[in-house]
Structure 1
Amino acid sequence: MKLPENIEGFIQSQNELDSTVFANYFTEQATVFDEGSSYSGRDEIKQWIQQATEKYSMQLKPLNFNQIGSKGKLTVEVTGTFPGSPAVMQYHFEWDGPAIRSLKITG
């Protein structure tokens, strides 16, 4: 499956547990919605992903990707040290150019 460069980098930074590079794929005012909570701005997003990866050592394997205009959906298999691993999840993106403006994670 051919993925856009920014999605490949996003996945790679997650799998390398690099929260700084991960957060830099987002706009300064981006928002992430995950497990009933929201995180706004790169600093909060960096803290969120750093805590999650330290706790669960998550790895992403892309299964499917669709994009229409500035919106896209990435289906991934997520493995890690969390109950129910592996799990299939959907990452719903909105972009501002190549940067992520919004990410909503659903299971």
Structure 2
Amino acid sequence: MKLPDNIEGLVKAQNDLDSTAFAAHFTTAATVSDEGSSYAGSAEIKQWIEGATQKYRMQLKPLDFEQTGSTAELTVEVSGTFPGSPAVLHYHLELDGPLIRSLRISG
């Protein structure tokens, strides 16, 4: 499956366990919603992904990607050191050009 460069970069950053590169794919005012919590802005997003990566060592395997205009959904198999690994998650994205304006993760 061919992913757009920005989404491919996001997946690569996560699989490289590189929270700085991961956060660089978001706008400065971006938001993330995951597991009932929300994070706003580059610093909070970087802190969130850094903590989650250290705790769970997540690896993403893209399964499906659909995009309509600035709205996209990436379906991934996430594996790591968490109960129930691997799990299929949906990344609901709002894009702003090559950057991500918002990300909501659901099961």
Match of 2:64? 64
Residue 19 (str. 1) matches residue 19 (str. 2): yes
Find the aligned partners of 1:42 and 1:24 in 2 and give their Cα distance: 8
Shift of 1:58: 0.3
| DSSP 3-state at the match of 2:102 | strand
TM-score, normalised to structure 2's length? 0.99
| DSSP 3-state at the match of 2:17 | coil
Shift of 1:68: 0.1
Amino acid at match of 1:71: T
1:66-85 superposed Cα distances (whole Å, 9 cap, x missing partner): 00000000000000000000
Match of 1:81? 81
| DSSP 3-state at the match of 2:77 | strand
Find the aligned partners of 1:13 and 1:102 in 2 and give their Cα distance: 17
Size of the aligned set, in residue pairs, is 107
Please list every run of at least 4 consecutive aligned residues from structure 1 whose deviation after the TM superposition is greater than 2 angstroms: none
Gaps of 5+ in 1: none
Amino acid at match of 2:5: E
Gaps of 5+ in 2: none
Amino acid at match of 1:77: E
Percent identity over the alignment is 69
RMSD over aligned CA atoms reads 0.3
